[in-house]
Structure 1
């Protein structure tokens, strides 16, 4: 297999061979942007390999969810974007003969082994910054195409006439639908893998690194991904210019960020025609010269307001564009695409997000856009609440309790977006509590990549602190979550603060 991550090649091939030998597969996946793209990549690869499958989604892969999976009559279960951390429970069901697991994940594995386990962490690759769940699924999909094409070629060699040869392709192998080699070897799925990695916050320092970068290269070669240097602002495809700059808060520019009037005055002061038919244009619709003029003026404003040079450098990053999608839509930009997917997942409509990933540009896309509008409104209300009520500062972290006023599925996003607002520091990780049910609380945590470089690992913080109070948790170094019993908040915070202090000392 000439795949993007040589270290994973053998394991991916073994996992793909197991799937190709299955009569049918149950595909189980997480529901966030990384999970949805993981599922879409796996579903596409299974369908192309003519392996019957059914897809289920789980917000949390706990004992009950795994037991429900075991109760089905599927002999093979493919877990994507989760499964590694639950391998102790999955392994018990495997030993009992309930099913054979195949896992494509990037989270910290439990202390147990299984044969068909594809995880970058097992091969010295950082699963928090170098390969996402969608990336692991992509590596598996590439291997599955290799196995499938090999089996097909073997069959063709014994056949008098091959129905897989397209006379228009100079003898090249194509899929049943007659598409090109990028589809035949699943390289076209690199676009979804990039969306998943960006949605999983893996574009640290403004770009994707490591194995993710190799997937980007394959996507560029396949013609499904384009990259380039651009402003590091969210909403370049869809936000009118004033809103683009008003909401650009990762690098705070005094007089523009969080300042509607200031953003308008900044744009009005430029010698450019930035409106069409009375409506503000979008960044994606500007010419390169116009973009250069606006960007230069933005940098000059930042310098004049004393923004540190290191911060100004963060105004520019690598953009990941999906050229097959229309300019000015959420699907054109990997960051906006991932936000759209998160909006479907956070409101229990993973089926809608999956439909968009699989190419539904009708009902699924319209439903996703409505969910995104609702999602943005809820996020705005949540950020306003946290900023108004404030956070509690401990020695090494800060936290707030949203109770039932912010959905537990979005409280972590709210926490991350609120960092940097008045009274909310970006130099400490933030923890957010929200009601999960009558007996438990959801805890979400967010940090910054600068804190991670200083030693922060929120996966360890959430895991150790939650288990100390009878809960459980995990995730990634920059973002993680946990479930804890009600009444244990103080003990949890105390232990989490200790661990953060040890990490950053």
Structure 2
């Protein structure tokens, strides 16, 4: 809920419009955004707005805002930060006092910068607005379908749809449904609804992990045959959305019964059904048709060193989708491999589950793997998961994931990562439900980091 404002103060929507209009007035702005799905969606949304208005611009994707980055940019450039910057606003202002920020992370300091940030208006940037949905409100007046789609893609990519889109996200969704751009429906939330043949739709499912079906094509084919569902029609593989609504409902029921019979947790089973968002103006049978699959496509590009390709997809550039689809296949293979490694090697460390993926799981997917394992139904979600990997600079990268129930009990992984990171001279932060850190590798640093993380989590969850 928006906080009470003083007389004459702009509300969130007025501030967003001011930010949007100011960006559209800039001469050849440099738009810099984060490389994850929400960051790419938001950055591409800003780029689309500038493109619609015929404005020249430059786009760059970045991992962090620091002195090294800021000092490398000519001081006379007009700069726009997207999905980052609020946490380093004082540093940004030092280099670029006229910079503009669109972000949903908590601001670290009061500055004179022009910012669109839900936290400044009493909204929760972890659950009610992503960077892309914030950017949507900056440019919604342009009345463009792709801007609407990217706002939703970013929110879904930031996992703000776990119980349906809420807060500012819900307002955005209402606009999109009313305009005929988006269809919202209750359905299976598994990846591949739109783009995969039914056998692979089931065989590649890892949230939740389906015992006996996941990674077993033959068993999936037999399961479908048992329930009277054809694998092919007129020589073509049948996808989930090719099925009539009644048959989709039957498959949903069959999968839920299967999960109940094979020991999948009630929570994981219930999470299989929820709101899904179909983009009615996008090509059928492609990842662009479904918000979750679109966000996964962008995440794959960002995590595999090709964030600009993801932005090209969003801008509709020729050949970009086909190239991104190949990256997505590589991404899904890496995640599947990582999850099977996690099944064998993750363990209960008391205050948290721990997965050491160094040398086995790339840092580009360690967070996704940790989240997928945590949500797979293979473990009880009564404590968060922390996972280690090695980043490109040889540092130890930590990814952590929690869930709503833990947040309600007091868990704040952003605080855990900040405090544990500070203990070893590292840099950490993020949201309460998902956060990360990096630090110089050594046995002593690892011991101190995990010890401090354990202490903070135990205090937050009142375990001590």
Normalised by the size of structure 2, how large is the TM-score?
0.90
Does the CA contact (< 8 Å) of 1:232 and 1:317 recur in 2? yes
Distance 1:278 1:452, change over 3 A: farther
Which among 462, 479, 494 is matched to residue 434 of structure 2? 479
Q: Distance in 1 between matches of 2:377 and 2:159?
A: 24
Distance 1:331 1:351, change over 3 A: same
Q: Partner of 1:59 in structure 2?
A: 63
Q: Distance in 1 between matches of 2:400 and 2:153?
A: 22
Structure 1 unmatched runs, 5+ = 1-5, 146-183
Q: Partner of 1:228 in structure 2?
A: 185
SS in structure 2 opposite 1:100? coil
Q: Partner of 1:428 in structure 2?
A: 383
Q: Distance in 2 between matches of 1:64 and 1:386?
A: 35
SS in structure 2 opposite 1:325? coil
Q: Distance in 1 between matches of 2:365 and 2:250?
A: 37
Distance 1:408 1:299, change over 3 A: closer
Deviation at 1:251, TM superposition (A): 4.1
Q: Partner of 1:377 in structure 2?
A: 333
Task: Confirm whether residue 212 of structure 1 aligns to residue 169 of structure 2.
Answer: yes
Deviation at 1:117, TM superposition (A): 1.1
Encode CA deviations 1:55-88: one digit per residue, 9 max, x unaligned: 111022222112223x3531x2111111111112
Question: How many pairs are equivalent?
Answer: 451
Q: Partner of 1:35 in structure 2?
A: 39
Q: Partner of 1:118 in structure 2?
A: 116
Normalised by the size of structure 1, how large is the TM-score?
0.83
SS in structure 2 opposite 1:204? coil
Deviation at 1:261, TM superposition (A): 4.6
Does the CA contact (< 8 Å) of 1:391 and 1:423 recur in 2? no
Q: Partner of 1:73 in structure 2?
A: 76
Structure 2 unmatched runs, 5+ = 1-9
Task: Confirm whether residue 202 of structure 1 aligns to residue 160 of structure 2.
Answer: yes
Counterparts of 1:201-280 in structure 2 under 5 Å?
Answer: 201-205=159-163, 207-251=164-208, 255-257=212-214, 260-276=217-233, 280=237
Deviation at 1:294, TM superposition (A): 1.7
Cα RMSD (Å) = 2.4
Deviation at 1:387, TM superposition (A): 2.8
Q: Distance in 2 between matches of 1:324 and 1:185?
A: 14
Does the CA contact (< 8 Å) of 1:237 and 1:330 recur in 2? yes
Return 260-269 or 280-289, whichever deviates more.
Answer: 260-269
Does the CA contact (< 8 Å) of 2:268 and 2:376 recur in 1? no
Encode CA deviations 1:129-155: one digit per residue, 9 max, x unaligned: 11001011111123xx4xxxxxxxxxx
Return 234-243 or 193-202, whichever deviates more.
Answer: 234-243
Distance 1:251 1:383, change over 3 A: closer
Return 186-195 or 351-360, whichever deviates more.
Answer: 186-195
Q: Partner of 1:298 in structure 2?
A: 255
Distance 1:245 1:355, change over 3 A: same
Does the CA contact (< 8 Å) of 2:427 and 2:439 recur in 1? yes
Q: Partner of 1:413 in structure 2?
A: 368
Q: Distance in 2 between matches of 1:222 and 1:267?
A: 37
Q: Distance in 2 between matches of 1:403 and 1:253?
A: 26
Encode CA deviations 1:316-351: one digit per residue, 9 max, x unaligned: 211101111222211111111111111111122111
Q: Which has the larger radius of gyration?
A: 1
Does the CA contact (< 8 Å) of 1:29 and 1:56 recur in 2? yes
Task: Confirm whether residue 45 of structure 1 aligns to residue 43 of structure 2.
Answer: no
